[in-house]
Amino acid sequence: MQQGRVIQSTGSWYLVDTGDEIIESRLPGRFRLEGKEVTNPLAVGDKVDLTINDDGTGNIEKIHVRENYITRQATHGKRGEQILVSNLDQACVVQSIKQPKLKEGFIDRFLVTCEAYEVHAVVIINKLDLAKSGGKAFAEELRELYTSLGYAFLTTSIEDHQSLKKLKELLTDKTTAFIGPSGVGKTSLINALDPNFDFKVNEISDFSSKGKHTTTFARLIPLSFGGFIADTPGIREFGLVNIEPWELSLFFPEMLEPRENCQFSNCTHEHEPKCGVAEAFERGEIAASRYNSYLNMLDSLK
Protein backbone atom coordinates (compact mmCIF):
# COMPACT_ATOMS: atom_id res chain seq x y z
CA MET A 1 0.00 0.00 0.00
CA GLN A 2 1.30 3.45 -0.94
CA GLN A 3 0.17 6.93 0.07
CA GLY A 4 -0.25 9.79 -2.34
CA ARG A 5 -2.09 12.97 -3.23
CA VAL A 6 -4.57 13.38 -6.07
CA ILE A 7 -3.15 16.00 -8.44
CA GLN A 8 -5.56 15.67 -11.36
CA SER A 9 -9.06 14.44 -12.06
CA THR A 10 -10.38 13.78 -15.55
CA GLY A 11 -13.57 12.00 -14.52
CA SER A 12 -12.85 8.28 -14.61
CA TRP A 13 -9.09 8.38 -13.98
CA TYR A 14 -7.06 10.20 -11.34
CA LEU A 15 -3.37 11.07 -11.26
CA VAL A 16 -1.86 10.37 -7.83
CA ASP A 17 1.53 11.77 -6.80
CA THR A 18 3.28 9.46 -4.32
CA GLY A 19 6.37 11.65 -4.06
CA ASP A 20 8.41 9.20 -6.12
CA GLU A 21 6.14 8.83 -9.14
CA ILE A 22 2.78 9.80 -10.58
CA ILE A 23 0.38 6.88 -10.91
CA GLU A 24 -2.73 6.75 -13.08
CA SER A 25 -5.40 5.36 -10.76
CA ARG A 26 -9.04 4.32 -10.64
CA LEU A 27 -11.61 4.74 -7.86
CA PRO A 28 -13.72 1.65 -7.01
CA GLY A 29 -17.48 1.98 -7.38
CA ARG A 30 -18.15 1.56 -3.65
CA PHE A 31 -16.76 5.05 -2.99
CA ARG A 32 -19.20 6.52 -5.51
CA LEU A 33 -22.10 4.83 -3.72
CA GLU A 34 -20.89 6.05 -0.32
CA GLY A 35 -20.61 9.59 -1.66
CA LYS A 36 -23.99 9.63 -3.42
CA GLU A 37 -24.77 13.18 -2.19
CA VAL A 38 -21.46 14.33 -3.73
CA THR A 39 -20.91 14.44 -7.49
CA ASN A 40 -17.23 13.61 -7.02
CA PRO A 41 -16.34 11.45 -3.98
CA LEU A 42 -12.66 12.00 -4.79
CA ALA A 43 -11.31 15.53 -5.31
CA VAL A 44 -8.03 17.08 -6.34
CA GLY A 45 -5.94 17.57 -3.20
CA ASP A 46 -7.27 14.45 -1.46
CA LYS A 47 -4.74 12.23 0.30
CA VAL A 48 -5.25 8.55 -0.53
CA ASP A 49 -3.89 5.03 -0.01
CA LEU A 50 -3.54 2.94 -3.16
CA THR A 51 -2.38 -0.45 -4.35
CA ILE A 52 -0.38 -0.87 -7.57
CA ASN A 53 -1.53 -3.24 -10.32
CA ASP A 54 0.76 -5.36 -12.50
CA ASP A 55 0.36 -2.88 -15.37
CA GLY A 56 1.53 0.02 -13.19
CA THR A 57 -1.88 1.59 -12.68
CA GLY A 58 -3.31 2.11 -9.20
CA ASN A 59 -6.46 1.23 -7.28
CA ILE A 60 -7.48 3.77 -4.65
CA GLU A 61 -8.33 1.90 -1.45
CA LYS A 62 -8.79 4.69 1.09
CA ILE A 63 -9.54 8.43 1.05
CA HIS A 64 -8.11 10.21 4.10
CA VAL A 65 -10.22 12.65 6.12
CA ARG A 66 -9.99 16.13 4.59
CA GLU A 67 -8.54 19.01 6.60
CA ASN A 68 -10.76 21.41 4.66
CA TYR A 69 -12.21 21.84 1.20
CA ILE A 70 -14.00 24.20 -1.17
CA THR A 71 -17.42 23.01 -2.26
CA ARG A 72 -20.37 24.33 -4.21
CA GLN A 73 -23.85 23.22 -5.14
CA ALA A 74 -23.85 20.72 -8.00
CA THR A 75 -24.80 22.16 -11.39
CA HIS A 76 -26.56 20.90 -14.54
CA GLY A 77 -29.52 19.52 -12.58
CA LYS A 78 -27.43 17.21 -10.40
CA ARG A 79 -28.23 16.78 -6.72
CA GLY A 80 -25.83 17.28 -3.84
CA GLU A 81 -22.52 19.11 -3.87
CA GLN A 82 -19.36 19.28 -5.95
CA ILE A 83 -16.06 19.36 -4.09
CA LEU A 84 -13.69 21.54 -6.11
CA VAL A 85 -10.42 21.01 -4.21
CA SER A 86 -9.32 19.86 -0.74
CA ASN A 87 -6.55 20.16 1.86
CA LEU A 88 -5.66 23.78 1.16
CA ASP A 89 -3.51 26.36 2.89
CA GLN A 90 -5.52 29.09 1.17
CA ALA A 91 -7.99 29.77 -1.61
CA CYS A 92 -8.04 32.79 -3.91
CA VAL A 93 -11.20 34.09 -5.52
CA VAL A 94 -10.11 35.70 -8.80
CA GLN A 95 -12.22 38.38 -10.47
CA SER A 96 -11.26 40.76 -13.27
CA ILE A 97 -11.90 44.48 -13.04
CA LYS A 98 -13.52 44.15 -16.51
CA GLN A 99 -13.78 41.68 -19.40
CA PRO A 100 -15.67 39.88 -17.87
CA LYS A 101 -17.44 42.21 -15.46
CA LEU A 102 -16.58 41.95 -11.78
CA LYS A 103 -19.28 40.30 -9.65
CA GLU A 104 -19.22 41.21 -5.97
CA GLY A 105 -21.89 38.60 -5.23
CA PHE A 106 -19.57 35.84 -6.48
CA ILE A 107 -16.80 37.08 -4.19
CA ASP A 108 -19.12 37.12 -1.18
CA ARG A 109 -20.48 33.62 -1.84
CA PHE A 110 -16.92 32.34 -2.11
CA LEU A 111 -15.94 34.03 1.17
CA VAL A 112 -18.97 32.52 2.96
CA THR A 113 -17.90 29.06 1.77
CA CYS A 114 -14.35 29.65 2.98
CA GLU A 115 -15.65 30.76 6.39
CA ALA A 116 -17.93 27.71 6.60
CA TYR A 117 -15.23 25.20 5.65
CA GLU A 118 -12.32 26.87 7.47
CA VAL A 119 -10.23 27.82 4.45
CA HIS A 120 -8.06 30.96 4.55
CA ALA A 121 -9.45 33.24 1.82
CA VAL A 122 -7.76 35.78 -0.47
CA VAL A 123 -9.46 38.22 -2.85
CA ILE A 124 -7.64 38.89 -6.14
CA ILE A 125 -8.82 41.56 -8.59
CA ASN A 126 -7.01 40.91 -11.88
CA LYS A 127 -6.52 42.78 -15.18
CA LEU A 128 -6.01 46.10 -13.42
CA ASP A 129 -4.15 47.28 -16.54
CA LEU A 130 -7.55 47.42 -18.31
CA ALA A 131 -9.07 49.73 -15.70
CA LYS A 132 -9.52 53.45 -16.19
CA SER A 133 -9.39 55.84 -13.22
CA GLY A 134 -12.93 54.94 -12.13
CA GLY A 135 -12.17 51.23 -12.20
CA LYS A 136 -9.00 51.68 -10.19
CA ALA A 137 -10.89 53.74 -7.61
CA PHE A 138 -13.50 50.97 -7.40
CA ALA A 139 -10.74 48.41 -6.84
CA GLU A 140 -9.41 50.51 -3.96
CA GLU A 141 -12.91 50.69 -2.45
CA LEU A 142 -13.06 46.90 -2.58
CA ARG A 143 -9.61 46.70 -0.99
CA GLU A 144 -10.74 48.91 1.89
CA LEU A 145 -13.92 46.87 2.38
CA TYR A 146 -12.43 43.38 2.33
CA THR A 147 -9.27 44.17 4.28
CA SER A 148 -11.47 45.77 6.97
CA LEU A 149 -13.18 42.38 7.26
CA GLY A 150 -9.85 40.61 7.72
CA TYR A 151 -9.33 39.22 4.20
CA ALA A 152 -6.10 39.40 2.25
CA PHE A 153 -6.56 41.44 -0.94
CA LEU A 154 -4.41 41.82 -4.05
CA THR A 155 -4.80 43.69 -7.33
CA THR A 156 -2.86 42.06 -10.16
CA SER A 157 -1.95 42.37 -13.81
CA ILE A 158 0.36 40.28 -15.94
CA GLU A 159 1.74 43.65 -17.12
CA ASP A 160 2.67 44.71 -13.56
CA HIS A 161 5.75 42.88 -12.28
CA GLN A 162 5.37 44.32 -8.78
CA SER A 163 1.89 42.83 -8.39
CA LEU A 164 3.17 39.47 -9.68
CA LYS A 165 5.98 39.59 -7.13
CA LYS A 166 3.46 40.08 -4.30
CA LEU A 167 1.34 37.21 -5.64
CA LYS A 168 4.39 34.97 -5.86
CA GLU A 169 5.23 35.72 -2.23
CA LEU A 170 1.67 34.82 -1.25
CA LEU A 171 1.82 31.46 -3.04
CA THR A 172 5.34 30.31 -2.11
CA ASP A 173 5.40 26.98 -0.22
CA LYS A 174 1.61 26.85 0.09
CA THR A 175 -1.17 24.82 -1.53
CA THR A 176 -3.50 27.39 -3.07
CA ALA A 177 -6.68 27.18 -5.13
CA PHE A 178 -7.50 29.71 -7.86
CA ILE A 179 -11.29 29.90 -8.26
CA GLY A 180 -13.32 32.24 -10.42
CA PRO A 181 -15.32 32.61 -13.63
CA SER A 182 -13.81 31.78 -17.01
CA GLY A 183 -11.92 34.62 -18.62
CA VAL A 184 -10.79 36.44 -15.46
CA GLY A 185 -7.17 35.49 -16.16
CA LYS A 186 -6.43 32.66 -13.73
CA THR A 187 -4.38 30.68 -16.26
CA SER A 188 -2.59 33.81 -17.54
CA LEU A 189 -1.52 34.63 -13.98
CA ILE A 190 -0.19 31.10 -13.50
CA ASN A 191 1.76 31.33 -16.77
CA ALA A 192 3.20 34.72 -15.75
CA LEU A 193 4.30 33.46 -12.33
CA ASP A 194 6.39 30.53 -13.52
CA PRO A 195 8.55 30.50 -16.68
CA ASN A 196 8.10 26.72 -16.88
CA PHE A 197 4.39 27.10 -17.63
CA ASP A 198 2.69 27.69 -20.95
CA PHE A 199 -0.89 26.62 -20.34
CA LYS A 200 -3.52 27.31 -23.00
CA VAL A 201 -5.35 30.62 -22.66
CA ASN A 202 -8.47 31.60 -24.59
CA GLU A 203 -9.67 35.08 -25.34
CA ILE A 204 -12.98 36.52 -24.11
CA SER A 205 -15.92 35.87 -26.39
CA ASP A 206 -16.85 39.17 -28.07
CA PHE A 207 -20.44 38.02 -28.41
CA SER A 208 -21.17 37.22 -24.77
CA SER A 209 -18.34 39.06 -22.94
CA LYS A 210 -18.07 35.89 -20.88
CA GLY A 211 -14.93 33.84 -20.66
CA LYS A 212 -14.54 30.70 -22.71
CA HIS A 213 -13.75 27.63 -20.64
CA THR A 214 -10.02 26.92 -20.96
CA THR A 215 -9.32 24.65 -18.00
CA THR A 216 -11.69 21.69 -18.36
CA PHE A 217 -10.63 19.69 -15.31
CA ALA A 218 -9.13 20.42 -11.92
CA ARG A 219 -5.39 19.95 -11.50
CA LEU A 220 -2.77 20.54 -8.83
CA ILE A 221 0.30 22.17 -10.37
CA PRO A 222 3.72 22.18 -8.64
CA LEU A 223 5.35 25.62 -8.58
CA SER A 224 9.09 25.94 -9.27
CA PHE A 225 9.45 28.35 -6.32
CA GLY A 226 7.71 25.97 -3.89
CA GLY A 227 4.10 25.02 -3.29
CA PHE A 228 1.18 23.95 -5.45
CA ILE A 229 -1.59 25.78 -7.19
CA ALA A 230 -4.96 24.19 -7.91
CA ASP A 231 -6.31 25.47 -11.21
CA THR A 232 -10.03 24.79 -11.52
CA PRO A 233 -12.52 25.05 -14.39
CA GLY A 234 -14.18 28.45 -14.74
CA ILE A 235 -17.26 28.83 -12.55
CA ARG A 236 -20.17 31.09 -13.44
CA GLU A 237 -22.26 30.28 -10.37
CA PHE A 238 -21.20 29.48 -6.84
CA GLY A 239 -24.13 27.81 -5.06
CA LEU A 240 -23.93 27.43 -1.28
CA VAL A 241 -24.41 24.00 0.30
CA ASN A 242 -25.01 22.67 3.82
CA ILE A 243 -25.80 26.12 5.24
CA GLU A 244 -29.12 26.82 6.96
CA PRO A 245 -30.76 30.26 6.52
CA TRP A 246 -30.53 31.06 10.26
CA GLU A 247 -26.76 30.41 10.36
CA LEU A 248 -25.75 32.29 7.18
CA SER A 249 -24.86 35.46 9.11
CA LEU A 250 -22.32 33.44 11.13
CA PHE A 251 -20.14 33.48 8.02
CA PHE A 252 -20.22 37.28 7.62
CA PRO A 253 -17.53 38.61 10.02
CA GLU A 254 -19.17 42.04 10.26
CA MET A 255 -22.45 40.48 11.42
CA LEU A 256 -21.11 38.38 14.28
CA GLU A 257 -21.26 41.10 16.94
CA PRO A 258 -24.49 42.83 15.80
CA ARG A 259 -26.41 39.51 15.65
CA GLU A 260 -25.90 39.18 19.41
CA ASN A 261 -28.31 42.12 19.79
CA CYS A 262 -31.15 40.47 17.87
CA GLN A 263 -34.38 39.85 19.78
CA PHE A 264 -34.76 36.35 18.30
CA SER A 265 -32.05 33.68 18.41
CA ASN A 266 -33.04 32.41 14.95
CA CYS A 267 -33.31 35.89 13.42
CA THR A 268 -32.69 35.96 9.67
CA HIS A 269 -31.99 39.75 9.72
CA GLU A 270 -34.43 40.26 6.89
CA HIS A 271 -37.75 41.42 8.40
CA GLU A 272 -37.73 40.67 12.14
CA PRO A 273 -38.21 43.50 14.69
CA LYS A 274 -35.36 44.57 16.95
CA CYS A 275 -32.71 43.05 14.66
CA GLY A 276 -29.15 43.97 15.62
CA VAL A 277 -27.80 43.31 12.11
CA ALA A 278 -30.43 45.48 10.40
CA GLU A 279 -29.76 48.26 12.91
CA ALA A 280 -26.00 48.01 12.25
CA PHE A 281 -26.69 48.27 8.52
CA GLU A 282 -28.85 51.37 9.07
CA ARG A 283 -25.97 52.94 11.04
CA GLY A 284 -23.62 52.31 8.11
CA GLU A 285 -21.58 49.68 9.96
CA ILE A 286 -22.31 47.03 7.30
CA ALA A 287 -21.63 47.82 3.65
CA ALA A 288 -24.67 47.92 1.37
CA SER A 289 -23.04 45.52 -1.11
CA ARG A 290 -22.42 42.98 1.63
CA TYR A 291 -25.92 43.26 3.10
CA ASN A 292 -27.43 42.88 -0.38
CA SER A 293 -25.23 39.83 -0.97
CA TYR A 294 -26.44 38.41 2.32
CA LEU A 295 -30.10 38.91 1.36
CA ASN A 296 -29.55 37.32 -2.08
CA MET A 297 -27.87 34.30 -0.48
CA LEU A 298 -30.61 34.06 2.12
CA ASP A 299 -33.22 34.00 -0.62
CA SER A 300 -31.38 31.24 -2.50
CA LEU A 301 -31.06 29.13 0.68
CA LYS A 302 -34.79 29.41 1.35
Instruction: Please state the three-class secondary structure of the chain as a single string.
Output: CEEEEEEEECCCCEEEECCCCEEEEECCHHHHHHCCCECCCCCCCCEEEEEECCCCCEEEEEECCCCCEEEEECCCCCCCEEEEEECCCEEEEEEECCCCCCCHHHHHHHHHHHHHCCCCEEEEEECHHHCCHHHHHHHHHHHHHHHHCCCEEEECCCCCHHHHHHHHHHHCCEEEEEECCCCCCHHHHHHHHCCCCCCCCCCECCCCCCECCCCCCCEEEECCCCEEEEECCCCCCCCCCCCCHHHHHHHCHHHCCHHHHCCCCCCCCCCCCCCHHHHHHHCCCCCHHHHHHHHHHHHHHC
In the prediction, which pLDDT does 74 show?
Answer: 72
Residue-averaged pLDDT of the chain: 88
pLDDT tens digit string along 43-95? 999 999 999 999 999 999 999 999 999 988 876 556 678 888 999 999 999 99
> Which CATH entry fits the domain spanning 2-65: 2.40.50.140, 3.40.50.10540, 2.40.50.90, 2.30.140.10?
2.40.50.140
> Does residue 25 carry a pLDDT above 70?
yes
Give the domain 70-231 fold: Rossmann fold (3.40.50)
pTM for this predicted structure = 0.87
> Does residue 216 carry a pLDDT above 50?
no
Under 8 Å between Cβ of 266 and 247: no
> Does residue 204 carry a pLDDT above 60?
no
> Does residue 126 carry a pLDDT above 80?
yes
In the prediction, which pLDDT does 82 show?
Answer: 83
> Does residue 173 carry a pLDDT above 60?
yes
In the prediction, which pLDDT does 300 show?
Answer: 92
* Stronger pLDDT, 290 or 234, i.e. the higher one: 290
Q: Spelled out in words, what is the top-level CATH class assigned to the domain 245-301?
A: mainly alpha
The domain ranges of the chain are: 2-65, 70-231, 245-301
In the prediction, which pLDDT does 212 show?
Answer: 38
> Does residue 32 carry a pLDDT above 70?
no
* Stronger pLDDT, 253 or 207, i.e. the higher one: 253
- What does the radius of gyration of the chain's CA atoms come to, in whole angstroms? 20
State the pairing for strand pair 174-179/90-96: parallel
> Does residue 237 carry a pLDDT above 90?
no
Average pLDDT, stretch 279-300? 96
> Does residue 234 carry a pLDDT above 80?
no
Q: Does 2-65 match 245-301 in CATH topology?
A: no
